[in-house]
Structure 1
Amino acid sequence: MSLHVSLEQWRTLVAVVDAGGYAQAAARLHKTQSSISYAIQQIEDRLSVVIFQIEGRKAELTETGRVLYRRAKALGEEAERIERTAGKLAQGREPLVSLAVESLFPIGLLLDSMERFSQEVPDTRIELYESVMGGTDELLSERQVDLAICADTIPAGFAGDFLMPYRAVAVAAPSHPLHHLKRNPVLDDLRGHTHLIIRDSGTRRTREGAWDVAEQRWTVSHRTTSIRAACMGIGFAWYAEDWIQDKLRTGQLAQLRLTEGAERRGALYLVYSDPDGAGPSARRLADIIRENAAKPA
């Protein structure tokens, strides 16, 4: 009999841990509980290890079991990526490309890129996730998208290409008290007013609030809500220039003449979820985005 542990058995181990028990794993995998128990027993016997130990009434992973679980989970994820890659190669062009885009990326440039792609590759659909900070990272890390445009940092375990810089400016409505000081405001002056913040769309909120400067704040989910509040004179904020060009032009918003911190600059990066497994449609969309981002503003 072969002493090798099969991929299916490793996947069973992962299911038991993730589901919280043998019965739950059996339901998730549509198998009998006895077959789940047998698979775990086979791993233990073939490798001469103990994966679970009984503590009270519950089976807990041993230290060896925790190591094997982590490795088995990584093995299963890699196998899934290989299977997805094979499927894309077999299909030729993939029917769907999913894209997560940090909201700081200029919307006009994004829509132009998507329109050009659709004209070139009309049979491939695009699924767009408009995300903020950690939300972009999560979509990428969880392999829910083929491509992502990330701001400032690239998630650990991924490699990306610099796409373009961005610039955000501090603004408030012309009627806001910060515009009517007898001197240029400093950061301490901001702390007495409402800071308008757009919520990180990630569930884990892994990004630190580097732009949070006041205890008094409104945190909203959409930039349109935040910008509307700023135009009403409710508070101040830093916005990407692309978002508020028309508001600055019509005088609904005005830049704050802060002595420091009046603008914040950063970089946007284009990142593949799986560079080796990216299909021809995903690669073409990435090329179009790069080409458009490189054009003079």
Structure 2
Amino acid sequence: MNEVIPIAWWQALLAVVDEGGYAQAAEALGKSQSAVSYSIQRLEDRLGLRVFKTKGRRAVPTPAGQVLLQRARLLVDHARNLESAAQELAAGRESLLRVAVDALLPEWLLLQALAEFGAGCVSTRIEVLETVLSGTDEALMRREADLVVTSRIPQGFSGEPLMRVRFVAVAAPGHPLHHLGRPLEWADLRQHRQLVVRDSGTRRLDAGWLDAEQRWTFSHMASSIRAACAGLGFAWYPELRIRDELADGRLRPLQLAEGRHRYATLYRIFARPEFPGPACRELAGILERLTRSQAGDAAIRD
């Protein structure tokens, strides 16, 4: 039976590439340069091929090294995740749980889930990152969150559907769009100010914008909703996010000729699907139960 190549050799391979040389890799790994060189030499001997070639004063991967580099990165990441999961299991629960939540999820529902989680788990600290559009993707890709609630599933990840979100076009009761006396066309909307929420990621997506002549952009949905209640423009909002404003009449649905409602699906994604920690799984379970208990169009039922 062939012996398994030590993970430290693969780590040395990655460090030489990522840090730009043997000396830099040694400093990053906290080892001597000779130890890094020895690891690379043993790796090449075991594999029977060269993984680096000299180009000027730099060591650059060979074609074979490039192929191995991609696999090695996955292997080292997997090993780190396994070690982290073992530490979390030994401690009972994670000491810190980072959650990235798309603004489409109603605040009251998130707070209800956190309250239930906190009542049974006082040892885990929670960091909540409120995101919009591609900002949620980036939090996941950069490993800035352990648990993600998003309407977009980035390539390479899988998600569990939580709930269907219905958007409704609304404006304050005194807004001119409510007083045209007929169903509204797209041309009517374009003549008025639209309120939108900025993409919190770097891609700056403009989902839902109608190319209106006037547009006011807010960083937080709560600010946008307050602006709409003040009569400063119209907008599409998740119906559950504005349930109180609809109930007390601060906002009223616009009577559109077509396209009155839009829909999106929110998903739950684990950043480490193979090794979600106990606290991560528990909060995810609470979110799944609460979201699926919502009636009508707000829930996806099994």
Class of the TM-score when normalised by the shorter of the 2 chains? 0.7 to 0.9
Other-structure match for 1:280? 278
Where does residue 186 of structure 1 map in the other structure? 185
Partner of 1:134: 134
Aligned residue among 233, 245, 257 for 1:235: 233
Gap change, CA 1:229 and 1:266, over 3 Å in 2: same
Pair 1:201 & 2:200 matched: yes
In structure 2, the residue matched to 1:43 is 43
**1:25, 1:202 → 2: CA distance?**
32
Q: Aligned AA for 2:185?
A: V
SS of equivalent residue, structure 2 residue 113 = helix
Please say if 1:166 is aligned against 2:165. yes
The answer to whether the 8 Å contact 1:3/1:46 transfers is: no
Count of paired positions: 293
- Aligned equivalents of 1:213, 1:52: Cα separation in 2: 53
Gaps of 5+ in 1: none
Does the 8 A contact of 2:171 with 2:234 survive in 1? Answer: yes
For residues 62 and 231 of structure 1, the distance between their equivalents in structure 2, rounded to whole angstroms, comes to 62
Q: For the Cα contact (< 8 Å) 1:4–1:46, is it kept in 2? A: no
Partners of 2:189 and 2:90 in 1: how far apart? 57
Q: Output one character per residue of 1:243-297: Cα deviation in whole Å (capped at 9) or x when no partner.
A: 3233334444332222222221122222223344223333222222222223345
CA gap of 1:54–1:226, structure 2 versus 1, over 3 A, is farther
Partner of 1:212: 209
TM-score (norm 1): 0.83
Cα distance, 1:10 vs. partner?
1.0
The amino acid across from 2:287 in the alignment is I
Residues 192 and 214 in structure 1, CA contact (< 8 A), matched pair in contact too = no
**Secondary structure in structure 1 of the residue aligned to 2:77:** helix
Any unmatched runs of 5+ in structure 2? Answer: 296-302
Deviation at 1:149, TM superposition (A): 1.8
Query: Over residues 161-205 of structure 1, what are the superposed CA-to-partner deviations in whole Å (9 max), with x where a residue is unaligned?
Result: 222221111223344444444543323443344432222223455
Paired position in structure 2 for 1:147 = 147
Range moving further from structure 2, 185-194 or 76-85: 185-194
Q: Which residue of 2 aligns with 1:68?
A: 68
User: Could you say if the C-alpha distance between residues 68 and 179 of structure 1 is closer, same or farther in structure 2, counting changes exceeding 3 Å?
Assistant: same
Equivalent residues of 2:105, 2:241 under 8 A apart: no
Supply the AA of the counterpart residue of 1:196. Answer: L
Q: Does 1:244 align with 2:242?
A: yes
Name the CA distance, whole Å, in 1 between partners of 2:160 and 2:292: 12
Distance 2:55 2:188 in 1: 57
What's the CA shift string for 1:113-167, capped at 9, x where partnerless?
211222222333322222222222333344433322222x333333332222211
**1:127–1:54 CA distance, 2 compared to 1 (3 A):** same
Q: Secondary structure at the match of 1:90?
A: helix
**Paired letter, 2:172:** A
Cα deviation, residue 56, structure 1: 5.9
Segment drifting more, 161-170 vs 213-222 = 213-222
Aligned equivalent of 1:30: 30
Note closer, same or farther for the CA distance 1:261–1:7 as it changes in structure 2 (3 Å cut): same
- Whether 1:113 aligns to 2:110 is no
- What one-letter code is carried by the residue in structure 2 that aligns with 1:95? S
**Distance between the aligned counterparts of 1:188 and 1:31, measured in 2?**
67
**Other structure's SS at 1:84 match:** helix
Matched residue, 1:221: 219
The more displaced of 59-68 and 112-121 is 59-68
